[in-house]
Amino acid sequence: MKIALFIPCYIDQFYPQVGIATLELLEKLGCNVTFPLEQTCCGQPMANSGFSSLNKGCDANFVANFSDFDYIVAPSGSCVLHLKEHLKDELHPEEGQKIRTTIYELTEFLTDVLKVETLKASFPYKVGIHSSCHGQRGLHLSGMTETMLPFFSKPEQLLKMVSGIELSYPKRKDECCGFGGTFCVFEEAVSVKMGKDRIKEHEVNDVDYITAWDSSCLMHLEGILKRDKSKTKIIHIAEILNGNW
């Protein structure tokens, strides 16, 4: 099968190691991966600000770059959810619809498509799990406490395959970190307070790292951690699943 790798803007600009880890991990698992060089932003920032009508250029470019692949994989739940819910190309509606059904966040692709059962990875650290909202509530990568149903987590399922890792959750395991895309710009004080609350619960567990499947959430938390001179670090799940630390 032909797989395309979609790397969101902020990963490309600020966390390129996450994109590299994603590519390496998929290739280790036997995937034939292509990185379309003309890819750009998926348009999520504009949609979050109420200007999704201005996304036509982004949508057309995405369809032009990704319509010829069997699957599209991205290390970002928020961008994947945006594309699943909003991508459309008036000139190529069938191609747009195909992409909406064949684009996957990394961990759901590993569990649902590749059916990964073992990983050759080690990470001898205590890691706090942050369940990013778009992945949890939009893509259903993990269960939500308010549903009162048995808990599940596709990312946790994969992390448990990593040798030497110790996992923990904050007390309120599915609470937002406060990033919320443009929310953190327009509601800075609220956003920071929410992030500090998340970090406090992780630090009570004395974690070495906080991991998530959205670098946007991790970027927000990292900014707070660095300002507070905390010893806790952030790391994307792709880096853990790919590595031998």
Chain segment 202-233, per-residue pLDDT in tens? 999 999 999 999 999 999 999 999 999 999 99
User: Rounded mean pLDDT of 54-70?
Assistant: 94
pLDDT at residue number 52: 79
Look at residue 185 and tell me whether its pLDDT is greater than 80: no
pLDDT at residue number 16: 97
pLDDT at residue number 122: 97
Chain segment 70-119, per-residue pLDDT in tens? 999 999 999 999 999 999 899 999 999 999 999 999 999 999 999 999 99
**What is the pTM assigned to this prediction?**
0.94
Q: DSSP per residue over the chain, as a string? A: -EEEE---HHHHHH-HHHHHHHHHHHHHTT-EEE--TT----SHHHHHTT-GGGGHHHHHHHHHHHTT-SEEEESBHHHHHHHHHH---TT-HHHHHHHHHHEEEHHHIIIIIS-------B--SEEEE---HIIIIIS-SB--GGGTS---BHHHHHHTTSBT-EEE--SSTT---S-TTTHHHHTHHHHHHHHHHHHHHHHHTT-SEEEESBHHHHHHHHHHHHHTT-S-EEEEHHHHHH-B-
Chain segment 140-180, per-residue pLDDT in tens? 999 998 888 899 999 999 999 999 999 999 999 889 998 88
Look at residue 245 and tell me whether its pLDDT is greater than 70: no
